[in-house]
Amino acid sequence: MKTVNQSLEALNDFLKENSITGTLTYRSEISHLVRCGRSQISLNVSEEGEKIFIELQKGKKKISSSSTFSLEKIAEIKEQITALYEKIEFMPEVEHLTPLKPIHEGDTDKHVADKKISNIDSNIMIDLFKAIDHEFTNDDVEISGAFSAGEYSYCVINSLVDKCLSYQGTDFNIEVVLQLLKHDKKELRSASVGENLSQFNQAEIVKELRTLFDIKTTTTREDVEPGEYDVVFSAHAFAELTNYMGYLTFHGEAYQYQMSMLNKETQKVGSKIFGENITIVDDPSDSDILFGRPVGINGISRSIFPLIKNGVLSNMFYSDKDTCDRFSLEVNNDANVSSIKVETGIGPSSFDEMIKSCTKPTIFIPYIHYMNFTNPAKGEFTGTSRFGTFLVNEGKIQSHLYNVRLNDSYMDLFNNIEWLSSQSAHINTSDTYGMRMASSITCPKFVKINKVKITGTSAPGRG
């Protein structure tokens, strides 16, 4: 990382020597992935890449480019900068563009890569699937899943400062799905995420799969009528809801463009938008979260950033200078590197306790598949449950439901929370599009929400 920082600083000096105003951003990744399909290894791949992003500004004109980076290419990159700066003349002026500001200056670099992940031997990843195969050797299951692990870094500097800011970290995320061939192709899933290899626990994954297998092979299939139900969401399902809700609530840019679910006239920072039992925060220094990144890729310094406090909207992320310029605002954070945490409550935290607490008919949803907004302005969404939906009543699992389709709004859901577990879990939210960037949400293990709208099921003929 040190040599990258030095060469980026040298390139920045080149900008200054040539009186060019601009920002240079370096990003790198080393990624390993083993995928299992049909109970064998279907993919065992790795990739490595380094990129440089160049953004130049001249008065009210701007231009950007990116290319593959290597330490040997510095002379070539200087040529690219010169050529790009010549091209900036052809750009029309953007009236609202404000002058570039210096990035944060100070010792906030954080390099926490676990080299055991960076250079992981693919046999460690393969062994997980072998162990699962061994455990279920007599159970007629099809094993599939993925084990992804890697290192990523970013480093940013601009022509108004001398030193760059950088971050280097690692992450792994695992998901395993079993399809029960002798049990109506029921599916079950286990997933985990971490930032160093010591957090990987093979035995725990196998144990969780066994527990779920035993539940699923002893419950009967049933179908429910569409309607409103009390639903307990697992941490995975609730993190997914929070993640999607976050796109429509926490991004100041979307709010300004009126693409969020908040009404710009009536709902502002300070407005109560959710139930009192909901508190959400992004704090890179919190030891309870994964991937705490004290600097943004946009060069901002990050610290505790409350988003929702007892249902009241406390802050929105403004990460993008262009949008801020358009609305005369200041960049205040970088949502791209945030690690959101939903505060816990006083509800049950173990699976057994959670089931026992459901004395009235309640649906348990462990996972939401293919969520999408149906009407973002109202925060309305749809998605289906997956990997084992249960009907719980009188403190017991009554039956194994077909996947149900949810059609509801985040506004209703986050205002109808009955309880949140007292313990939390980390859930992977990185989307694996583009370059590696770890992302996770920390949230309660279970969350019970009242009056959730179910509009259909995957039972034959009930789409």
Identify residues 141-170 at the interface with other proteins (CB under 8 A): 142, 144-146, 148
Q: According to CB under 8 A, which residues from 380 to 419 bind other proteins? A: 382-384, 386, 403, 405, 407
Q: Tell me the CA distances in angstroms from 31 to 14, 159, 173, 196, one per residue in order.
A: 32, 31, 11, 14
Q: Can you tell me which of 114, 151, 171, 187 binds other proteins, judged by CB under 8 A?
A: 187
Stretch that binds other proteins, among 181-189, 307-315, 345-353, 391-399 (CB under 8 A): 181-189
d(CA 142, CA 37): 8
* Closest CB to other proteins among residues 121, 288: 121
Of the candidate spans 4-12, 232-240, 371-379, 415-423, the one that interacts with other proteins by CB under 8 A turns out to be: 371-379
119 binds other proteins (CB under 8 A): no
In this chain, which stretch among 121-129, 213-221, 287-295, 304-312 interacts with other proteins, using CB under 8 A? 121-129
Q: Which of 82, 377, 395, 396 lies at the binding interface for other proteins (CB under 8 A)?
A: 377
Instruction: Show Cβ contacts of residue 412 under 8 Å, excluding neighbours closer than 6 positions.
Output: 451
- Alpha-carbon distances of 363 from 40, 415, 449, 452, rounded to whole Å: 34, 18, 10, 10
Report the nearest approach of other proteins to the CB of residue 396 (Å): 27
The distance of closest approach from Cβ of residue 46 to other proteins in the complex, given in angstroms and rounded to an integer, is: 5
Give the range of 7-15, 208-216, 281-289, 369-377 binding other proteins by CB under 8 A: 369-377
* Smallest distance, other proteins to C-beta of residue 139, A: 15
Of residues 69-98, those binding other proteins (CB under 8 A): 70, 84, 87, 90-92, 94-96
Q: Which is nearer to other proteins, 36 or 413 (CB)?
A: 36
Binding part of the chain for other proteins, among 176-184, 295-303, 347-355, 408-416 by CB under 8 A, reads: 176-184
Q: What's the rounded Cα separation, in Å, for the pair 451 and 428?
A: 27
Minimum distance of other proteins from residue 435's CB (angstroms): 10
Q: Rounded to the nearest whole angstrom, what is the least distance from the CB of residue 42 to other proteins in the complex? A: 6
Q: Which stretch binds other proteins (CB under 8 A): 291-299, 356-364, 372-380, 416-424?
A: 372-380
Please, what is the minimum distance in Å from the beta carbon of residue 428 to other proteins?
12
Q: Is 327 in the site for other proteins (CB under 8 A)?
A: no
Does 455 engage in binding with other proteins (CB under 8 A)?
Answer: yes
CB closer to other proteins out of 45 and 346: 45
Task: Name the token pair of 89.
Answer: 């003349």
Residues 421-450 that bind other proteins (CB under 8 A): 431-433
- If binding means CB under 8 A, how many residues of this protein chain bind other proteins? 87
CA-to-CA distance for 307 and 273, rounded, in angstroms?
11
Interacting span for other proteins (CB under 8 A) from 198-206, 234-242, 421-429, 451-459: 451-459
Which residue stretch of 29-37, 161-169, 210-218, 348-356 sits at the interface with other proteins (rule: CB under 8 A)?
Answer: 29-37
Position 137 contacts other proteins (CB under 8 A): no
Q: What SS3 string covers the chain?
A: CHHHHHHHHHHHHHHHHCCCEEEEEEEEEEEEEEEEECCEEEEEEEEEEEEEEEEEEECCEEEEEEEECCHHHHHHHHHHHHHHHHHHHHCCCCCCCCCCCCCCCCCCCEECCCHHHHCCCHHHHHHHHHHHHHHCCCCCEEEEEEEEEEEEEEEEEECCCCCCEEEEEEEEEEEEEEEECCCCCEEEEEEEEECCHHHCCHHHHHHHHHHHHHHHCCCCEECCCCEEEEEEEEHHHHHHHHHHHHHHHCEHHHHHCCCCCCCCCCCCCCCECCCCCCCEEECCCCCCCCCCCCECCCCCECCCEEEEECCEECCCECCCHHHHHHCCCCCCCCHHHCCEEECCCCECCCHHHHHHHCCCCEEEECCEEEEEEEEHHHCEEEEEECCCEEEEECCEEEEEECCEEEEEEHHHHHHCEEEEECCEEEEECCCCCCCCCCCEEEEECEEEEEEEEEEEECCCCCC
Please report whether residue 171 would count as binding other proteins according to CB under 8 A.
no
Binders of other proteins in range 242-261 (CB under 8 A)? 257-259
Residue closer to other proteins (CB basis): 23 or 277: 23
Among 63, 113, 316, 340, binds other proteins (CB under 8 A): 63
Is 225 among the residues that bind other proteins (CB under 8 A)? no
For the segment 30-59, give every residue that binds other proteins (CB under 8 A).
31, 33-51
Inter-residue contact 367 to 237 (CB < 8 Å): yes
Q: Is 118 in the site for other proteins (CB under 8 A)?
A: no
